[in-house]
Amino acid sequence: MDAKLTLKLNQEIIEKAKIYASQKKVSLSRIIENYLHSLTSDAKDDRSIEISPFVKSLSSGKKIPTDLDYKKEYSEHLMNKYK
């Protein structure tokens, strides 16, 4: 059941939020409702989302180094590819 809620917020924030909501084609009320839901939901609710077998199959199990220079790696890959 929906209920009305009155909030006091900074006018500038309200205007920015309205623009954001308009760009995303969603109501400001829905954005605030989703935000409050995310704050108040239990952690176990997040674990109840089941990952499909297809998405699980995409995992390779390999770890990517944090210091990986992907631009350099891709450049080297292209250089080898077009030799």
**C-alpha distances in angstroms, 58 versus 16, 22, 54, 64, 76?**
38, 35, 7, 15, 25
The band of 75, judged by pLDDT with boundaries at 50, 70 and 90, is very high
CA-only gyration radius of the chain, Å? 22
| pLDDT tens-place string over residues 50-65 | 777 777 777 777 787 8
Average pLDDT over residues 33-59: 76
